[in-house]
Structure 1
Amino acid sequence: MPTFADPFQQHQAEQLLQPVLIRVVDNLRKAMEASNWIGTYEEHLLWPEGTTTAEQEQVRQIAAQLEDADPEAAQHLQEQLSHLPMPFPGYELRLSQGEHTQRIDVWNLCYQVCFTHYDPDTPAEVDPHLLDEVGDVDWLALDEKAQQLVQVAFEQLGEGRKD
């Protein structure tokens, strides 16, 4: 999960990430259609760094209890969860071609599109070219960057273009 240098960068990222995800997924679909790769999306949980296995299990147990809890118990369980590290969804595109299997981390690809020179170890900076002069999403620039980075990701997979 990216960190941000300031609240303004975080606000811009929140504005951009859903459109980025939409364009990345659409461009992944187009790239698969033009290749011999067969893809399936897989969802998994990503935990904050340093989260112990015991904490992960505790979160899972409380979440399961929440499903059947009455309102009073649910409030108590929510309070417990508020003191624990919470996971966020991770998405991977699992690509297969015969015996070969590759994976593309969809969120990481989205971060590369959304941010300038994305590095998970440094605060993220929104790519200013993805916003127009009034701060709205520049859909053309966004689609061009998403298309370019998806193309690079598929080129790194190796063989697989349809003839």
Structure 2
Amino acid sequence: MNPSDLPPVPPSLNELSEWQLAELVLMQPALIRLVDQLRKHLETSDWKDASIEVQDLPHYKICLEKSGQRFEVNLWDLCYRICAQDLQPSATPDTSSVDPSLLDEAGEIDWQRIDYKANAVVAQTLRELDESLTQPN
């Protein structure tokens, strides 16, 4: 497969082999843990999920509501944050690489590590949305 034949990756990881690793091995487990962590956080917060949409794959979006305001969150972007090392919303995606701690020594998925990162990404995302509610328009 020629790298130019691949679709753009949001965010772009700096190595094709890393992109393939994230896409083929880590993104589905990241999505599974992300959805579970979203469910857990929403059960204990004032946020409500209005809907989950699947647009042109791989675009999964959830609409969250709070205080009469509605926010759309791209779940696939959050999965990339889980899979990437040091990828925060303000980081430069071109400098990101796949987090090697998501795989154990045998190359198997470290589900506990993915769950830990999914929890952190969900908590951070909801915190950022809360902050945007308190900011003046």
TM-score when scaled to structure 2?
Answer: 0.74
Are residue 10 (structure 1) and residue 10 (structure 2) matched?
A: no
Instruction: Provide closer, same or farther for how the CA distance between residues 155 and 4 of structure 1 changes in structure 2, counting only shifts above 3 A.
Output: closer
Higher gyration radius (CA): 1
2:102 aligned partner, one-letter code: L
Are residue 97 (structure 1) and residue 66 (structure 2) matched?
A: yes
Q: Do 2:85 and 2:99's aligned partners in 1 also have CA atoms closer than 8 Å? A: yes
Are residue 140 (structure 1) and residue 109 (structure 2) matched?
A: no
Deviation at 1:89, TM superposition (A): 3.1
Provide structure 1 residue ranges, at least 5 long, that are not aligned to the other structure. Answer: 46-87
Two-structure CA RMSD over aligned residues (Å): 2.3
Q: Which moved more, 1:30-39 or 1:114-123?
A: 114-123
Deviation at 1:106, TM superposition (A): 0.6
Once the two structures are superposed, what CA deviation does each residue of 1:71-99 show, in whole Å capped at 9, x if it has no partner?
xxxxxxxxxxxxxxxxx331111011241
Q: Do 2:84 and 2:99's aligned partners in 1 also have CA atoms closer than 8 Å? A: yes
Residue correspondence of structure 1 range 16-55 to structure 2 within 5 A: 16-39=26-49, 40-45=51-56
Aligned residues: 118
Once the two structures are superposed, what CA deviation does each residue of 1:115-151 show, in whole Å capped at 9, x if it has no partner?
1133675265210111101111111111111101111
1:105 aligned partner, one-letter code: N
Instruction: Provide closer, same or farther for how the CA distance between residues 28 and 131 of structure 1 changes in structure 2, counting only shifts above 3 A.
Output: same
Q: Which moved more, 1:144-153 or 1:91-100?
A: 91-100
Report the equivalent of 2:5: none
Provide structure 2 residue ranges, at least 5 long, that are not aligned to the other structure. Answer: 1-8
Report the equivalent of 1:54: none
In structure 1, what is the Cα distance between the partners aligned to 2:78 and 2:114?
13
Report the equivalent of 1:127: 99
Instruction: Provide closer, same or farther for how the CA distance between residues 6 and 158 of structure 1 changes in structure 2, counting only shifts above 3 A.
Output: closer
1:145 aligned partner, one-letter code: K
Between the two structures, name the one with larger relative contact order (CA 8 Å, sep ≥ 6): 1
In structure 2, what is the Cα distance between the partners aligned to 1:4 and 1:158?
29
Kindly report structure 1 stretches of 4+ aligned residues shifted beyond 4 Å.
none
Percent identity of paired positions between Structure 1 and Structure 2? 35
